[in-house]
Amino acid sequence: MKFRPCIDIHNGKVKQIVGGSLKDVGDQARENFSSEYDSTFYARKYREDGLKGGHIIMLNSAASAYYAATKAQALGALSAYPDGMQIGGGITAENAAEYLEAGASHVIVTSYVFWQGRIEWEHLEKLSRAVGKERVVLDLSCRSREDGSYYVVTDRWQKFTDVKLSNAVMEELGEFCGEFLVHGVDVEGKASGIMEELVRLLAAYEGRKVTYAGGIGSMEDLKEFERLSGGKLDFTIGSALDLFGGKIPYEVVREKFS
Q: How far apart are CA 35 and CA 20, in angstroms?
A: 20
Per-residue pLDDT of the chain (258 residues; tens, 9 = 90+): 999 999 999 999 998 875 555 555 565 566 667 889 999 999 999 999 999 999 999 999 888 999 999 999 999 999 999 999 999 999 999 999 999 999 999 999 999 999 999 999 999 999 999 999 999 999 999 999 988 899 999 876 778 999 999 999 999 999 999 999 999 887 665 566 899 999 999 999 999 999 999 889 999 999 999 999 999 999 999 989 999 999 999 999 999 998
Per-residue confidence (pLDDT) for residue 155, from 0 to 100: 79
The helix or strand, by DSSP H or E, that contains position 55, with its residue range, turns out to be: strand 54-58
Please state whether the predicted TM-score (pTM) of the whole model is above 0.95.
no
Per-residue pLDDT at 100: 98
Q: Residue 14: its pLDDT value, please?
A: 95
pLDDT at residue 34 in the model: 84
Distance CA 247, CA 238 (A): 11
Contact call for residues 38 and 14 (beta carbons, < 8 A): yes
Cβ atoms of residues 246 and 240 within 8 Å = yes
Q: What is the DSSP string of 148-191?
A: S-EEEEETTTTEEEEEE--HHHHHHHGGG-SEEEEEBTTTTTT-
Give the sign of the dihedral formed by CA 51, CA 52, CA 53, CA 57.
Answer: positive
